[in-house]
A and B are shown apart, each in its own frame.
Chain A
């Protein structure tokens, strides 16, 4: 039974890492700019399509038609030659193999640009407007983003293979000195968990230990006073929006081998990430991370057969059930502060 519970806990951490990473960016935007950003899921989705785009560029081929031969289904035979391998040889092959993590290189500048343009172009006009209007405009942006992606990449999921060295499962049980082949877990999911931990730690360290972060935190606490000190807090907040977009984007990139990206990927995560933020406490970064892991672990345990035998269908409702209970007991969420989103 220990191994079953351990594996389910590991799965919860893995799911929780994804939830926490998305919720972190959402909270970052809400905590700094006070904007309820319903386009955050779309940023996650856009990031995942950066990985798709990068791989498509890497796997471009020259296609020549051989009129003398026919394919088994009767069409003229297409002879394909991959370009990157032709240009870069073995390095090209390695690049294609590691296309998902390598695509982070293009994802960071793209998402930073998308974030800054979004904030300067649209979001800044809604700072002083009611939250309902912010929700409407960002939800509209999310729909526009997904339709644009659908138009360019089609409606179907596009599988992204993980690097061949990181396929398969790691024998964690044997690593911990227990029986072999009992506690095994997919390597890429472990990589994703570690990646999330690094990003979450990096964001916290950035806010905690850099002057920029200190100013941003001061601005989150009292925007007007920081402004009166002669600091251009708006520019820093714009950069924070870009940073949140980058966090969402690279979270999307690294998720692609687990779930082939499609245009509505963002919407699939949107509701869940908002529940995470609300449970954690609006505007609280530690709250978002804690709630992400808590809900991930609970969802994983609720999917166990033994639990489902006791309460059928619990795996589908556990997250919302816990959210209701937490909000009844702690109306501001786990780490919510007084005065946030309160009239």
Chain B
């Protein structure tokens, strides 16, 4: 009433009020644009930053999960300036200082993914929402990796994949927030094909047993393409359930199928079981079509090779990395890991360790944890010193392009870890390919979605 008495009309009051409301709401947005950009999922505000480690500690790939965990713990120690520094000293270029990331100490939380995609996704959700993970890493199954990668894209958290070998991870299911250091099934085929042709000739008949999920399918497809290009015939490709245990009913039909090569598109425990049982069926002592019957394991797991014992001798496959390479990066990592755990690291441990360092390095180079900026720092980044030669984190599909290894089961191992011989280091140009062949869409980086 008083205001109106002073000559202010109701319209004037409303206009002034509206202007005030709009002004007070918009002005902060205009003047604090940079600060707004820093509002993102799990922006670390304290003096620590937390990694979420999604590890298959049980299930078909449990051995890999346990080794990955050791590697992550080692990486965190090295990032925080503890221990011998591991690969930080040989990574070039590097922005890492050994004082955490951007001055914050690195901590971690873990979750057992049980080698199951749904459990992995639930674990990642918990680590992001409850534990405040700034980055999620881990996994030894492509089904897990693809499930978690999709979640991370939705929540705006970067996913640094552990061991995942399916073409789909950086192919049709690629995501802007997902990055893979490990090689893929297509690269295994490109690398392994010529060696198989050289060793076993061009007139062969192959029988595939394939783990029935995304990795197995793409591995089978890639091996078929590589071997059929050599002139081999594919007799049959049979899908087997993940974690089948007893593969005898799938192996029996191989015996009189007319095949002279068995390609086991299995990994982890499945690989140990199917390979051991195939050897029990006498397949390595057989002759078929006038030739020695051969077994091929396109993706070797050296941890599992240890479990398969003598069955692995002489068998060809591929590997992302092996501890007995002699480059400075491999020597440094093997020494550091061996001193800490009394055994050499597996390829799963290596890729896990490298991914943790690469994420930390990207944050340092970007000067922020803001995911779109970290993504920019990783995309197209060239680095060296991590054990695979000069490496490119390809911007188009977030696949690392680097050297891969063709390996063979060691006939004369000097220790229980000396299970594989490196037959050939296939150069990165030979295993590079057009990312468009697998399709997919990375999706947006900005604006970074807010979790929870």
Contact = CB atoms under 8 A, between A and B. Distances in A.
B248 interface: yes
Interface stretch (B56-64, B144-152, B435-443): B56-64
A279 to B, nearest CB: 19
Contacts of A74: 334-336, 338-339
A156 B66 CA distance: 10
Interface in B271-323: 272-273, 276-277, 280-282, 285-287, 307-309, 323
Interface in B194-217: none
Nearest to B248: A11
A258 interface: yes
A161 B415 contact: no
A304 B282 contact: no
B236 interface: yes
A251 to B, nearest CB: 14
A11 B249 contact: yes
Interface in A1-45: 3-4, 7-8, 10-12, 14-15
B343 interface: yes
Given A73-B343, A75-B338, A258-B246, A159 B281 contact: no
A300 interface: yes
Given A305-B236, A308-B238, A186 B249 contact: no
B344 interface: yes
Contacts of A168: 280, 282, 285
Given A156-B62, A157-B307, A258-B277, A169 B238 contact: no
Contacts of A299: 249
Nearest to A166: B280
Contact of B245 (A11, A268, A308): A268
Contacts of B334: 72-74
B280 A189 contact: yes
A73 B335 contact: yes
A7 B255 contact: yes
B281 A185 contact: yes
Interface string B402-424: 00000000000011011000000
B307 A259 contact: no
Given A155-B62, A157-B307, A161-B309, A75 B253 contact: no
A73 B417 CA distance: 10
Given A73-B335, A157-B272, A8 B285 contact: no
B285 A169 contact: yes
A42 B20 CA distance: 72
Nearest to A10: B252
B249 A73 contact: no
B256 interface: yes
A249 B250 CA distance: 27
A36 to B, nearest CB: 25
Interface in B225-257: 236, 238, 241, 245-246, 248-250, 252-253, 255-257
Interface string A161-181: 110000111000000000001
B370 interface: no
Contacts of A182: 256
B342 interface: yes
B324 interface: yes
B252 A259 contact: no
B309 A184 contact: no
Contact of B418 (A72, A156, A260, A315): A72
Nearest to A156: B62
Contacts of A3: 256
Contacts of A162: 280
B253 A305 contact: yes
A75 B307 contact: no
A159 B249 contact: no
Contacts of B344: 72-73
Nearest to B63: A156
B440 to A, nearest CB: 27
Contacts of B418: 72
Nearest to A182: B256
B216 to A, nearest CB: 15
A49 interface: no
A8 B253 CA distance: 7
Contacts of A72: 324, 334, 344, 414-415, 417-418
B280 A73 contact: no
A210 interface: no
A168 B343 CA distance: 31
A275 to B, nearest CB: 16
A7 to B, nearest CB: 5
B249 A315 contact: yes
Interface string B323-358: 110000000001111110011100000000000000
A264 B62 CA distance: 13
Contact of A188 (B62, B280, B308): B280
A185 B255 CA distance: 10
Nearest to B282: A169
Contacts of A71: 338, 415
Given A72-B344, A169-B282, A186-B281, A260 B256 contact: no
Interface in A228-276: 258-260, 264, 268
A260 B307 contact: yes
A189 B277 CA distance: 10
B269 interface: yes
Contact of A186 (B256, B269, B273, B280): B280
A72 B282 CA distance: 34
A316 interface: yes
A191 B236 CA distance: 30
Given A258-B277, A259-B245, A73 B323 contact: yes
Nearest to B114: A155
A304 B57 contact: no
A11 B447 CA distance: 58
Contact of A189 (B248, B255, B414): B248
> Which of A156, A189, A260 counts the most B-chain CB atoms under 10 A from its CB?
A156
B280 A167 contact: yes
25 contacts: A3-B256, A4-B256, A7-B253, A71-B415, A73-B337, A74-B336, A75-B343, A156-B66, A157-B272, A157-B307, A159-B307, A161-B309, A167-B280, A168-B282, A169-B280, A186-B248, A258-B248, A259-B245, A259-B246, A259-B273, A260-B269, A268-B245, A300-B252, A303-B252, A305-B257
Given A8-B249, A157-B307, A169-B280, 4 more contacts: A11-B249, A15-B248, A155-B58, A258-B248
Interface of A: 3-4, 7-8, 10-12, 14-15, 71-75, 155-157, 159, 161-162, 167-169, 181-182, 184-186, 188-189, 258-260, 264, 268, 299-300, 303-305, 308, 315-316
**Top 3 closest A-B pairs, CB basis?**
A169-B282, A73-B338, A74-B335
